[in-house]
Structure 1
Amino acid sequence: MSIPTPPAGKIILTYEDYLDLPDDGNRYEILEGVLHVTPSPTTRHQRVSRNLQRIIDAHVLEHDLGEVFYAPLDVILSNISIAQPDLIFVSHARAEIITEKNIAGAPDLVVEILSPNTSRRDKITKAHVYALYGVCYYWLVDPDTTTVEEYRLEEGAYNLVSRVTGNEPFKPEIFPGLAVDLSKVWA
């Protein structure tokens, strides 16, 4: 399945257009020139995001691996692809993509927390865009099914590395030595 592209003859939106969007509580993203609008996340979504961010951030800080960021923060993948992932990890090796205003390039890891409004976009459109621009690891976190899927970029496409459900320990490949207690994520 391909990502949506503007119909022939339609305008492709750019980062400059993105900067002109209103600050109205919605989350705006431009993916391959197509505008996507999402209402602000639910409290459940935010709790899961916060809990996971705290766990990842503690590991990253303890091992001096880089930096963890959370939404809203723009990730500028190209002039026509600007995303706001839920969580972002940038290793020290890629620290040059961290600017004062945004992340200007492909992070090492992007995490999307699924909701009914975003599930299809996160699984298809964003996965395609993140792979296209070289995001090495992509996680899909589903609070409804208490599932985490870790994907690794290989030859331009994501391959499933692991899928954990419920309160099984999640041992992400990108962070050797980390065992995420998912019961603390879903709490």
Structure 2
Amino acid sequence: MSEKGQDQAKIHIKEQVLTYDDYATINDGNRYELAGGKLELMSPAPSVTHQLLSIEMIKKFTQSCESDYIILDAPIDVILASTEVRQPDLVLVHRNRINILSKRGVEGPPDLVVEILSPSTRKRDKIDKLKTYSYYGIPEYWIVDPAIFVLEQFILQNERYELINIFQDSEIITSPNIPCISFTMAEILNKIPPSLI
């Protein structure tokens, strides 16, 4: 193949839109998301603080919501379309919608997705995923900032997210969509060793 032909082949490969089936065959030791048919590398691994925050939130969800909701944590594929596969940190799916769960992952919009910010994911979580999750009709999206222990709550209204609350300290976190939720960021913070804050 000529040099020009090789360059054209490379361009074709780069422009190829990947689907879930392509994504599912990748086994190189890395974690990816599929955004608009393009792979996005998820690295480096989350920090210990990030992981502890996630674990403590799972405990809170489990205490009050487990009878009504399936609670899942990363890595879990949320398959929103054949070319859109995301891996939120936490996912809640109401048990009356259990039909969207499959062996592959969550196939459709969950009731709640939670992203815990990392330096490498801040822009993706606050801009790209905000647009993606609203486009695919996820009714509620939380962004948790472990640097300041604040939770931003977005609710889908007229096909767009509205920031309806910012929870911090001892404010009780509630949800207009998920009545079983009730905890505070202070309760979470108290479970994390001071050396990691």
| Fold similarity call, TM over 0.5 | yes
1:155, CA displacement in angstroms? 1.4
The one-letter code matched in structure 2 to 1:101 is R
In the alignment, what sits opposite 2:127? 124
Say which SS state the counterpart of residue 110 (structure 2) adopts: coil
In the alignment, what sits opposite 2:90? 87
Q: Is the 8 A contact 1:114 1:142 kept in 2?
A: yes
Q: TM-score, normalised by structure 1?
A: 0.88
The one-letter code matched in structure 1 to 2:32 is Y
Q: Distance in 1 between matches of 2:180 and 2:105?
A: 29
1:28, CA displacement in angstroms? 0.6
Q: Is the 8 A contact 1:136 1:153 kept in 2?
A: yes
Q: Percent of pairs identical after alignment?
A: 34
In the alignment, what sits opposite 1:173? 176
In the alignment, what sits opposite 2:58? 53
Q: Which runs of 5+ in 1 are unaligned?
A: 1-6
The one-letter code matched in structure 2 to 1:42 is S
In the alignment, what sits opposite 1:21? 26
Matches within 5 A, 1:137-148: 137-148=140-151
1:177, CA displacement in angstroms? 5.1
- The structure number with the bigger radius of gyration is 2
1:17, CA displacement in angstroms? 1.6
Please, what is the CA RMSD of the aligned residues?
1.8
Q: TM-score, normalised by structure 2?
A: 0.84
Say if 1:23 and 1:43 are closer, same or farther in 2 by CA, change over 3 A.
farther
Say if 1:89 and 1:177 are closer, same or farther in 2 by CA, change over 3 A.
closer
In the alignment, what sits opposite 1:42? 47
1:105, CA displacement in angstroms? 0.7
Deviates more, 1:137-146 or 1:170-179: 170-179
1:8-36 alpha-carbon deviations (Å, 9 max, x no partner): 98111211121122251x32101111211
Say which SS state the counterpart of residue 18 (structure 2) adopts: coil
Q: Is the 8 A contact 1:73 1:102 kept in 2?
A: yes
1:16-75 alpha-carbon deviations (Å, 9 max, x no partner): 121122251x321011112111222111110001101110122112xx212110011111
- How many aligned residue pairs are there? 178
Deviates more, 1:79-88 or 1:96-105: 96-105
In the alignment, what sits opposite 1:156? 159
Q: Which runs of 5+ in 2 are unaligned?
A: 1-10, 193-197
In the alignment, what sits opposite 1:134? 137
Q: Is the 8 A contact 2:64 2:182 kept in 1?
A: no
Say if 1:121 and 1:88 are closer, same or farther in 2 by CA, change over 3 A.
same
The one-letter code matched in structure 1 to 2:63 is A
Give the one of 101, 110, 125 matched to 1:107: 110
Q: Distance in 2 between matches of 1:58 and 1:27?
A: 30
Q: Is the 8 A contact 1:53 1:68 kept in 2?
A: yes
Which structure shows the bigger proportion of residues in helix conformation?
Answer: 2
In the alignment, what sits opposite 2:195? none
